[in-house]
């Protein structure tokens, strides 16, 4: 006759909770603090806490979106270590498995007690918080139940995740290490590989967009689940005079998706538990089929990071996007060997790993490492040489001397010129790379071109190219880049001629005139001085059309600067208007005659006098007493420094 067993043991459940009461008691105390603060604030009548239904709803959603995932992530690991610690000690395993309860029943009991340990602080703190709200005039709403659901779902997922990890290892200290590793390994590997490749592929931008973010739950929940708010401005004269009129929890479906994944993790944990052998206690990885996966991930990480470090130390030129194949194979080969053997040492718990049976794995890793280095060297995947076609481009941000967005259909000619410039840079990359080592020389032009393509298929392509050229040896290249960067149609877009932007402010500093120990300055607004703004902008455009304004390329000393601020109405509701903002910074050179005449006219002085003052100002540079001009942090003004010693 079989002994009677059960699927749940109340004694074990209660015992697990009782023996760790300091843990959940401390969390419960922390959960009560907000309620105490609210109660004391109301008693004192400070009026800081709002009981408006919208504000309370916002508070619940903020906790559901940002608080619950963060707390669940940390507490799940501790709860798993508490309830599953007996798996890692042979005597404890024997004792628990001698209790008249099936392994499934023991799993259910331990899982339920761990989840209860996580939820007790929420139960105590939440109940007191809701009671406090009711006493001060607040109430229940759907947001209350949404928050409760998010708390339970997040807690369940992260605890099921921690439980799965607990059944993959046989060592108590390996549990938190593996839990953290498996939570972040995908996004970490993606960033490590992107970092390494971006150092060797010319123009490739180190991308931190985390395409594998969905495989990193805590990152995905904290970054994607968001709280949308909309305010109405009921008192335009007061910065604080706004009222919350709409709030919602966006992308909450990720909470539900991860909760469903938690069910799968729980079932998987139960299957592992039923097949687990007592001899697994003490092993870092108790599941044999997982060891190659752990070793592979570890070796890739060490090879990339240590290999990159060695290459930085021993190979000159890593920052110039030109890979030295022999040095790369040597550095990454050494890193691979170190990573491979240290990984085996950790898994096998011995230093005696230099055996013939492990050479096959090392050889496979070496072949793959060499293959990847050669692929990067010869751009086998056409990453470096990828240039989109005109028909593929939806828009492109050109971030160079000035920033502008080109839109397909409106700016096709400029997009075509941008693509041509992109191709020209790639065709002449060796010139730029060879000059980068001497970019501090006086005879070298240093600039950059950053292109962000938004393609019609929804993807993005980002490239960054430093433009480092010798002014004498690379004249053809420099002229072509100048023609592109100073294209009149391109700069006309930068000046927002007809794209909906309007000037909100124009101010300038004149270096050749001093006023109270700093450069003379003035500013105009469209409400007060529309004619003056138009005069200045027309003068700048006249210099542009005459080829007198070549931003970033003129070697003349600046004699003034003009800052033009823009804004564009994006959306207007019955409560509020929403704007986009931009600005253009113009360095005024002595050859910009039209702009200088406009400044003279606005100041009410003859242009001849301005010419004389500018000449005297520029002559001071040749007399040997001028040192520099810059921003003085103490005074907050542009200042000029002269050597007056005799």
For the beta carbon of residue 336, count every other beta carbon within 10 angstroms. 24
Task: State both tokens at 414.
Answer: 């400029």
Within this chain, do residues 416 and 437 fall inside the same structural domain, yes or no? yes
The pLDDT assigned to 2 comes to: 47
Within this chain, do residues 312 and 367 fall inside the same structural domain, yes or no? yes
pLDDT band at 208 (very low <50, low <70, confident <90, very high): low
For the beta carbon of residue 83, count every other beta carbon within 10 angstroms. 26
Closest-CA residue to 631 (of 509, 501, 458, 530) = 509
> Is pLDDT of 389 > 80?
yes
Within this chain, do residues 352 and 416 fall inside the same structural domain, yes or no? no
pLDDT band at 627 (very low <50, low <70, confident <90, very high): very low
Residue 1 lies in a domain: no
Residue 360 lies in a domain: yes
Residue 418 lies in a domain: yes
Closest-CA residue to 365 (of 287, 290, 288, 297) = 297
What is the four-CA torsion angle of 347, 351, 355, 357, rounded to 10 degrees? -10
pLDDT band at 334 (very low <50, low <70, confident <90, very high): very high
Of 455, 482, 509, which marks where a domain is finished? 482
The residue written with tokens 């005459």 in the block is 546
Within this chain, do residues 528 and 411 fall inside the same structural domain, yes or no? no
Within this chain, do residues 362 and 404 fall inside the same structural domain, yes or no? no
Residue 194 lies in a domain: no
In tens, the pLDDT along 277-311 reads 765 566 667 777 778 888 998 999 999 999 999 99
Within this chain, do residues 231 and 116 fall inside the same structural domain, yes or no? yes
Closest-CA residue to 69 (of 149, 157, 154, 176) = 154
Residue 64 lies in a domain: yes
What percent of the chain stands above pLDDT 70? Answer: 87
pLDDT band at 3 (very low <50, low <70, confident <90, very high): very low
Average pLDDT value over all residues in the chain:
85
Within this chain, do residues 228 and 269 fall inside the same structural domain, yes or no? yes
The pLDDT assigned to 438 comes to: 63
Within this chain, do residues 349 and 427 fall inside the same structural domain, yes or no? no
pLDDT band at 624 (very low <50, low <70, confident <90, very high): low
Q: What is the mean pLDDT of residues 413-426?
A: 95
Collapsing DSSP states into helix, strand and coil, what is residue 556? coil
pLDDT band at 235 (very low <50, low <70, confident <90, very high): very low
> Is pLDDT of 431 > 60?
yes
In tens, the pLDDT along 485-518 reads 888 888 888 887 666 788 999 999 998 887 766 7
Rounded CA-CA distance 12/423 in Å is 70
In tens, the pLDDT along 63-78 reads 999 999 999 999 999 9
Residue 209 lies in a domain: no
pLDDT band at 237 (very low <50, low <70, confident <90, very high): very low
DSSP, res 204: B
Rounded CA-CA distance 558/631 in Å is 15
> Is pLDDT of 631 > 70?
no
Of 461, 482, 503, which marks where a domain is finished? 482
Within this chain, do residues 26 and 93 fall inside the same structural domain, yes or no? yes
Output the CA–CA distances (angstroms, integers) from residue 519 to 104, 340, 362, 557, 605, in the order listed.
81, 63, 67, 15, 17
Of 263, 281, 299, which marks where a domain is finished? 281
The pLDDT assigned to 284 comes to: 66
> Is pLDDT of 239 > 50?
no
Residue 42 lies in a domain: yes
pLDDT band at 555 (very low <50, low <70, confident <90, very high): confident
Rounded CA-CA distance 231/375 in Å is 53
Task: State both tokens at 37.
Answer: 């603060």
Domain count for the chain, please give it.
Answer: 4
The pLDDT assigned to 92 comes to: 84
The H or E element containing residue 572 is strand 560-572
Cβ-based neighbours of 81, under 8 Å, separated by 6 or more: 166, 172, 175, 176
Rounded CA-CA distance 635/93 in Å is 72
The pLDDT assigned to 160 comes to: 98
Residue 186 lies in a domain: no
**Considering only 333-347, 425-439, 479-493, which range has the smallest mean pLDDT?**
425-439
Q: What is the mean pLDDT of residues 51-74?
A: 91
Question: What is the separation of C-alpha 547 from the centre of its chain, rounded to a whole number of angstroms?
Answer: 40
Whole domain around residue 265: which residue ranges?
A: 10-172+214-281
In tens, the pLDDT along 138-191 reads 777 889 999 999 999 999 999 999 999 999 888 888 899 889 989 998 898 888
> Is pLDDT of 611 > 50?
yes
For the beta carbon of residue 79, count every other beta carbon within 10 angstroms. 27
DSSP of 228-247: EEEEEES-TT-TT-EEEEEE
Within this chain, do residues 364 and 407 fall inside the same structural domain, yes or no? no
Within this chain, do residues 363 and 423 fall inside the same structural domain, yes or no? no
Closest-CA residue to 82 (of 16, 134, 135) = 16
Closest-CA residue to 486 (of 447, 435, 512) = 447
Comparison of pLDDT for 550 and 321, the residue scoring more = 550
Within this chain, do residues 271 and 133 fall inside the same structural domain, yes or no? yes
Region of residue 571 (phi > 0: left; psi between -120 and 50: alpha; otherwise: beta): beta
The pLDDT assigned to 433 comes to: 81
């Amino acid at each position: 006759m079989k002994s009677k067993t059960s699927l749940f043991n109340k004694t074990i459940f209660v015992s697990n909770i009782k023996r760790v009461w300091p843990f959940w008691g401390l969390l419960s105390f922390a959960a009560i603090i907000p309620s105490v603060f609210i109660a004391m604030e109301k008693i004192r009548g400070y009026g800081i806490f709002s009981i408006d239904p919208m504000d309370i709803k916002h508070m619940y959603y903020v906790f559901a979106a940002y608080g619950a995932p963060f707390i669940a992530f940390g507490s799940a690991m501790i709860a798993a270590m508490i309830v599953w610690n007996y798996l890692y000690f042979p005597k404890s395993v024997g004792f628990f498995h001698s209790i008249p309860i099936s392994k499934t029943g023991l799993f259910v009991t331990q899982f339920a007690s761990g989840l209860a340990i996580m939820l007790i602080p929420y139960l105590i703190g939440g109940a007191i918080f809701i009671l406090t709200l009711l006493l001060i005039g607040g109430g229940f709403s759907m947001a209350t139940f949404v928050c409760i659901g998010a708390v339970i779902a997040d807690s369940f997922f992260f605890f099921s995740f921690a439980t799965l990890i607990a059944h993959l290892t046989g060592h108590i200290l390996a549990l938190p290490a593996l839990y953290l590793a498996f939570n972040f390994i995908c996004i970490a590997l993606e960033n490590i590989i992107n970092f390494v490749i971006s150092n060797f592929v010319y123009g490739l931008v180190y991308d931190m967009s985390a395409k594998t973010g969905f495989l990193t739950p805590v990152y995905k929940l904290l970054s994607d689940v968001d709280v949308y708010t909309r305010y109405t401005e009921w008192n335009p004269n007061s910065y604080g005079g706004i009222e919350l009129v709409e709030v919602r929890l966006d992308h909450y479906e990720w909470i539900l998706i991860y909760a469903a994944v938690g069910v799968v993790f729980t079932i998987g944990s139960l299957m592992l538990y039923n097949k687990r052998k007592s001899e697994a206690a003490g092993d870092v990885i108790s599941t044999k089929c997982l060891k190659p996966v752990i070793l592979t991930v570890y070796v890739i990480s060490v090879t990339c990071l240590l290999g990159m470090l060695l290459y930085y130390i021993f190979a000159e030129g890593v920052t110039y996007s030109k890979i030295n194949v022999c040095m790369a194979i040597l550095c990454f080969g050494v890193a691979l060997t170190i990573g491979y053997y240290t990984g085996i040492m950790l898994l096998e718990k011995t230093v005696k790993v230099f055996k013939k049976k492990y050479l096959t794995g090392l050889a496979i890793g070496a072949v793959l490492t060499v293959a990847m280095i050669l692929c990067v060297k010869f751009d086998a995947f056409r990453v470096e040489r990828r240039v989109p076609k005109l028909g593929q481009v939806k828009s492109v941000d050109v971030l160079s001397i000035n920033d502008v967005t080109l839109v397909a259909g409106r700016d096709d000619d400029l997009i075509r010129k941008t693509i041509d410039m992109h191709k020209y840079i790639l065709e002449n990359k060796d010139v730029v790379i060879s000059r980068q080592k001497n970019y501090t020389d006086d005879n070298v032009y240093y600039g950059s071109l950053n292109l962000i393509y938004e393609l019609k298929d929804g993807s993005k392509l980002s490239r960054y190219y430093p433009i480092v050229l010798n002014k004498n040896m690379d004249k053809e290249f420099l002229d072509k880049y100048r023609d592109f960067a100073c294209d009149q149609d391109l700069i006309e877009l930068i000046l927002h001629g007809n794209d909906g932007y309007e000037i909100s402010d124009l101010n300038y500093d004149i270096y050749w005139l001093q006023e109270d120990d700093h450069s003379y300055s003035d500013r105009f607004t469209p409400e007060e001085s529309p004619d003056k703004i138009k005069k200045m902008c027309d003068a700048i455009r006249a210099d542009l059309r005459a080829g007198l304004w070549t931003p970033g390329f003129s070697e003349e000393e600046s004699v003034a600067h003009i800052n033009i601020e823009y804004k564009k109405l994006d959306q207007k509701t019955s409560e509020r208007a929403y704007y986009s903002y931009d600005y253009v910074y113009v360095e005024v050179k002595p050859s910009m005659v039209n702009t200088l005449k406009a400044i003279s006219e606005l100041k009410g002085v003859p242009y001849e006098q301005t010419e004389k003052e500018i000449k005297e100002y520029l002559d001071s540079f040749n007399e040997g007493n001028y040192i520099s001009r810059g921003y003085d942090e103490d005074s907050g003004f542009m200042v000029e420094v002269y050597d007056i010693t005799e």
